Amino acid sequence: MDAIATKRFPAFALELPEWLEAAIPPAGHVYAAAEDRMTLAIRLAELNVRERTGGPFGAAVFNVQTSTLVAPAVNLVLQSKSSIAHAEILAISLAQRILDSHDLGAPGMPPVELVTSCEPCAMCLGALHWSGIRRLVCGARDGDARAIGFDEGSKREDWVEGLQSRGIQVRRDVKRPDAVAVLKDYVASGGPIYNARSGMTDRQR
């Protein structure tokens, strides 16, 4: 019988789509340049659209010392019926599971970098502060996501400086045109634009 039907408060879990493992190079593959790492994040976003498993966003956590992949992820909001299932949240959570620590910046841990096909929304930005991530690399700008109708939430204008003042390096606009192309393809293919304001009247928005 379905666990949800028998349990009042079911377990909560998120699982990456089945196609994803086959789309990732073998373990140990070296992603030497930030552009190489971004190529993977954008590819994941692209495949997520093509396979119709979620929104046009991909992200991945990399080990900075070895330039190898720790954890890949894609947006799974609609499929999982969870508003927190953004690619960045999944990549961070999976990396923490794989590296067996809630703090990716803890003593003895390899420094890690989050690469995301689009700049983090307000929620993911908050999660970054708590994650122990040491470096953030972004493709599309948050304005590019807003331009197609996604709500990135309320973010301070100086969010980049805010991260840098906490020792998190930020690099923007890496392969931005390629990342923006995925956003545009998603809209062109009729992908649903979702945000928590969609049920509001014009006055509430």
Applying CB under 5 A, the residues found at the interface with Zn ion are 86, 121, 123-124
Distances (CA, A) of 110 to 61, 64, 102: 12, 7, 14
The residue (of 71 and 106) whose beta carbon lies closer to Zn ion is 71
Q: Least distance (Å) from Zn ion to the CB of residue 78?
A: 14
Is 15 known to be catalytic? Answer: no
Q: Toward Zn ion, which CB reaches closer, 43 or 86?
A: 86
- Comparing CB distances to Zn ion, the nearer of 64 and 123 is 123
The 8-class DSSP code of residue 104 comes to: T
Element (H, E) at 117: strand 112-118
- Cα separation, 205 vs 198, in Å, equals 9
Smallest gap, in angstroms, from Cβ of residue 81 to Zn ion?
16
Output the smallest distance, CB 56 to Zn ion, in A: 13
Within 8 A by CB and 6+ apart from 187, the residues are 148, 149, 193
Given the residues 35, 46, 88, 113, select the one marked as catalytic: 88
* Residues tagged active-site: 88
